[in-house]
Amino acid sequence: MDVLKEVGNIGAGHAATALSRLLDKPVDMKVPKVNLLPLEEVADLVGGAEQIVMAVFLRVDGDAPGNMFFVVQIESAKSLLRKLVGLDVQDEEQFSELELSALNEIGNILAGSYLSSLADFTKLSLSPSVPSLAMDMAGAILSFGLIQYGQMGDHALFIDTTFLEGNDAVEGNFFFIPDPESFPIIFHALGVPLE
């Protein structure tokens, strides 16, 4: 867990720097909570399987393939666009093309930052696919990777991400769900015995 937390911390630092450059203003991220949890608990962390969420999905290829998700509740997505990106969000129910594009890019930056910190730590070759954005029930979004790529691992690396700009905080959830054969590879590369 300590090693995974360090990966999360470094990834958060990289993401905050990348977002600060993109938005041309300071963006901080709280030290994230990092946890390894059973796959069936993932949907509960974002409000339940039927909770409507916005998610950016990436497939990770390379030495330890898997699925990556950046998931935010709709209210948080709007808040993220307003507070962080400075967009004048008009409709609380719908998203404009510009808003969707901004969310996709934020998810892409976050996923890339966490993935590169994991790759640096493990010295594994890990590369992300082009991100895709979806708004649907959390259960449907999480099962997408399963349907698309066959079996998923039975555990997820969960990183609770909080963006800060001034006193405003916006929360999002980041999940990396390695394929079944990838967990031993990752832990071996980290020098941690997998029990």
Residue 118 lies in a domain: yes
Give the integer Cα–Cα distance in Å for 78 and 87.
9
Residue 53 lies in a domain: yes
Residue 195 lies in a domain: no
Residue 134 lies in a domain: yes
- The CATH number that applies at residue 136 is 3.40.1550.10
By the 10 Å C-beta count (0-12 exposed, 13-18 middle, 19+ buried), 118 is classed as buried
- Please give the model's pTM, rounded to 2 decimal places: 0.83
Residue 179 lies in a domain: yes
Residue 194 lies in a domain: no
Backbone angles phi, psi at 94, to 5 degrees: -110, 165
What is the count of structural domains for the chain?
Answer: 1
* Torsion sign, CA atoms 13, 74, 178, 155: positive
pLDDT at 63: 96
pLDDT at 195: 61
Contacts 24+ apart (CB under 8 A), 93-101: 95/54, 95/135, 100/133
Q: Please report, in tens digits, the pLDDT of each residue of the chain (195 residues total).
A: 777 778 778 888 888 888 888 778 888 877 778 888 887 788 888 888 899 999 999 999 999 999 888 888 888 888 878 877 777 777 767 888 888 998 898 888 888 888 888 898 889 999 999 999 999 999 888 887 666 555 666 778 888 878 776 666 778 888 888 888 888 898 899 887 766
Instruction: Count Cβ atoms below 10 Å from residue 149 Cβ, excluding itself.
Output: 13
pLDDT at 152: 62
The range of the structural domain enclosing residue 16 comes to 2-189
